[in-house]
A and B are shown apart, each in its own frame.
Chain A
Amino acid sequence: MNMITTLFKRELRSYFATPVAYVFIVIFLVLSSAFTFYLGQFYERGQADLLPFFNFLPWLYLFLVPAVAMRLWSEERKSGTIELLLTLPITMWQAVVGKFLAAWAFIGIALALTFPLWLTVNYLGDPDNGVILASYIGALLMAGAFLAIGSCISAATRNQVVAFILTVVACFVLVMAGHPLVLDAFAAWAPQGLVDAIAGLSFLTHFASISKGVIDLRDLLYFLLMIGFWLYASAIVIDLKKAD
C-alpha cells in the first residue's frame, strides 16, 4: 500500500509538472459548461438539477478520458522508463494500480472543479443534492472504467495516438452497448442471451440508473468489476509486451 502511495504521488505530480494537466482541466470545464448551458438548455428547462450536465458527461469523457489514459503505459514504453519502473522492487500490480489511481484522481480533480455548476443550481433553486452526489459518484466510477480500458490499450502499444483512437472506439462501443447501433450488429446472428448480456454492459444504462439517485449495488459492482477486469488485463498485457 505504501508503495502504491509512492507511485501514486509521483504520477499525480507529473501530471501537473507539464501543461497537459492545465489544458485538460480548462478544456474539460469549458466543454462541460458549454454542453450544459447551450446543448443542455440549462436555463430554458427551468429545473434546478444537473441533469443536462450529467447527460453530456459520458460523451465528453469519451474523448477526454482516453486522452489521459493514452499516456499511462505508452509513454513508459516509448521512453524506456518501463524498464526502470519494473526493475524497481515493486510488483506489477502495485505499478498498474498506482498509475491508474493517479490518473483517476486527476480526473476526479477535474470533475470536482465543476462545483460552480452545483453552486449555481443551489443558488437558483432547491435541487435534490442527494441525486447530485449520486451522479457525481456515478460519473467518477464511469471515468474509472474508461481509464481502466485505456490503461489496458495503452499497455499494448508504444504509440499514444494509436492508444487514444483504440480507447475511444472501445469506450464508444461500451457506452453504446445498449443502443440498437451496437445491438443490431449482434442481433442478426447471436443468441438472445448474448445480446442481452451485451446490452447489460452498457455504461449509459448503469450510469443513468446511478444518476437517478439510486446507488444500486449492482451498478456499483458493475463499474468496480469493469475497473478490476481491465486493470488485470493491463498487467497481463504489460507482461506480454514488455519485451518489444
Chain B
Amino acid sequence: MIETQALGKRYGDLVAVDGISFKVEPGQVLGFLGPNGAGKSTTMKMVAGFLAPTSGSAKVCGFDVESDSLLARRMVGYLPEGAPSYGEMSVRQFLGFIADVRELPAAVRGKRLDDVIGRLNLEGVLEQPIETLSKGFKRRVGLAQAILHDPKVLILDEPTDGLDPNQKHEVRSLINAMARDKTIIVSTHVLEEVHAVCNRAIIIARGRVLADATPAELEARSRYHQAVSMTARDANAAREALARVVDVAAIEVDAQDGRITAFPKPGKQIFAAVNEVLKERNVAVREIALEGGRLDEVFRSITQAAPAKEVRP
C-alpha cells in the first residue's frame, strides 16, 4: 500500500511537486500520466526513498519514507527512469549483487533468481556485461532487479520507454501478471499503456493532481465518448442524414480522410438512432464505429487547461 499526504518537493523557488495526495491499495495498478516535467518522476523518487520531500509525507506499507526509510525501501521494488545498472557487471553478477543487498535468505535466493531470470527471459545473456546489451535487455535487467525480492510495492518509472512493440507487450503482460497481490505505480506518457495495464490513472501537471479516475471514467470525459464515426461513399448525404438525429450535437468531417463524426449531446446515446436514420435514407457507409472516447484528447484538455481549472483530487 502506498499513501501520500500533501507530498511536496521544491527546489529553491521552483515547485516540482505541489501537494500530491493519493492512496493506492494492493491489486491496483496506478498509472501516472502527465507532460514532461509535470512532477511524475519526482513524486516516484520521493516514494521510492531517493529524494526527501520538502513538505507532506509518504508511506509505504505503513512505513514513512523519511523516518522509517530503510523499512520502507525494503518493501519497494523500484525501476528508475532509464533503468540504470552497473554496465561493467554481467547480468548474473548484477542480480546476485542485488540479491545480496536485499538480503535474500539462502533458501529462496536461487529460486528467486531463477524465477526473475525466467520471467524476463534473461537466460541467454546471463554472462554478458550489461553495457553490451540492447536497450530492451537493459530494461528487462532493470525490471528483474526491481522484482527480485518479490516486493509488495512496485514503482516503475517509464518501464516501456524506448522498447519495441513486442517488448512493450511483454513488459505489460509481466505487470499484469504481478498486479493481483501487489501495489504498483507505473509512469508513462504512452496513453495506450493506461488501457493495457492500469486500473486507475492519475493525471499530473505542474506538480498537481488534475484527475484521478479509472481509464474508462477518463475516456467518458472525452468529447468523443459515445460519438459515432463513419466513412460514407456519399459524404453529403450522410451528413444530411445525421443532422436529422435529435440528439446529435455536432458533426465534424475530417479534412484529410473524410471521416464523419457525429457528437452526441451530453449524456445521450446516438448509435441506434444514427443507424436507423442511415438505413431509412439508404445511405451506404463503408464502416461505422462507436467511439469509446479518446484519452489523448482528455489528456490534452486536462493538462493544458488553466491552473485554476483543477479537478477534484
Q: Which residues of B contact A83 (CB under 8 A)?
A: 45, 50, 80, 84
| CB atoms of B51 and A242 under 8 A apart | yes
State whether the Cβ of A13 lies closer than 8 Å to any Cβ in chain B: yes
Within 8 A of A (CB), among B52-104: 70, 73-74, 76, 78, 80-82, 84-89, 93, 97-98, 100-103
Q: Which residues of A contact B31 (CB under 8 A)?
A: none
CB distance from B61 to the nearest CB of A (A): 13
Q: Report the bound CA distance from A80 to B83 in whole Å.
A: 8
Q: Which residues of A contact B76 (CB under 8 A)?
A: 87
- With A17-B129, A18-B88 already in contact, the answer to whether A87 and B80 are too (CB < 8 A) is yes
A3 touches which one: B51, B82, B101, B129 (CB < 8 A)? B101
State whether the Cβ of A6 lies closer than 8 Å to any Cβ in chain B: yes
A10 nearest in chain B by CB position: B97
Q: Which residues of A contact B183 (CB under 8 A)?
A: none
| CB atoms of A89 and B50 under 8 A apart | no
Q: Which residues of A contact B78 (CB under 8 A)?
A: 84, 87
| CB atoms of A14 and B89 under 8 A apart | yes
State whether the Cβ of A86 lies closer than 8 Å to any Cβ in chain B: yes
| CB atoms of B86 and A81 under 8 A apart | yes
| CB atoms of A17 and B50 under 8 A apart | no
Within 8 A of A (CB), among B28-60: 45, 48-51
CB distance from A71 to the nearest CB of B (A): 11
| CB atoms of B97 and A6 under 8 A apart | yes
CB distance from A98 to the nearest CB of B (A): 10
CB distance from A167 to the nearest CB of B (A): 22
State whether the Cβ of B145 lies closer than 8 Å to any Cβ in chain A: yes
A15 nearest in chain B by CB position: B88
Q: How large is the interface on B (under 10, 10 to 19, 20 to 34, 35 or more residues)?
A: 20 to 34
| CB atoms of B89 and A89 under 8 A apart | no
| CB atoms of B87 and A79 under 8 A apart | yes
| CB atoms of B101 and A88 under 8 A apart | yes
CB distance from B157 to the nearest CB of A (A): 9
Contact digits for A118-136, partner B, Cβ 8 Å, 1 yes 0 no? 0000000000000000000
| CB atoms of A89 and B97 under 8 A apart | no
| CB atoms of B84 and A14 under 8 A apart | no
Q: Which of B93, B97, B102 has the most CB of A within 10 A?
A: B97
| CB atoms of A89 and B74 under 8 A apart | yes
Q: Report the bound CA distance from A176 to B23 in whole Å.
A: 58
Q: Which residues of B contact A88 (CB under 8 A)?
A: 73, 98, 101-102
A18 nearest in chain B by CB position: B88
- With A6-B100, A14-B86, A84-B80 already in contact, the answer to whether A243 and B11 are too (CB < 8 A) is yes
20 contacting pairs across A/B (C-beta < 8 A): A13-B89, A13-B93, A14-B86, A17-B88, A79-B84, A79-B87, A80-B80, A81-B85, A81-B86, A83-B45, A83-B80, A83-B84, A84-B80, A84-B85, A86-B49, A88-B102, A89-B101, A91-B70, A242-B50, A243-B11
Q: Supply 9 further A-B pairs (C-beta < 8 A) apart from A10-B86, A14-B89.
A: A80-B81, A80-B84, A81-B84, A83-B45, A83-B84, A84-B78, A86-B50, A87-B78, A242-B50
Closest 4 CB pairs of A and B: A80-B84, A83-B80, A17-B88, A6-B100
Q: Which residues of A contact B (CB under 8 A)?
A: 2-3, 6-7, 10, 13-14, 17-18, 79-81, 83-84, 86-91, 242-243
Q: Which residues of B contact A (CB under 8 A)?
A: 11, 45, 48-51, 70, 73-74, 76, 78, 80-82, 84-89, 93, 97-98, 100-103, 129, 145
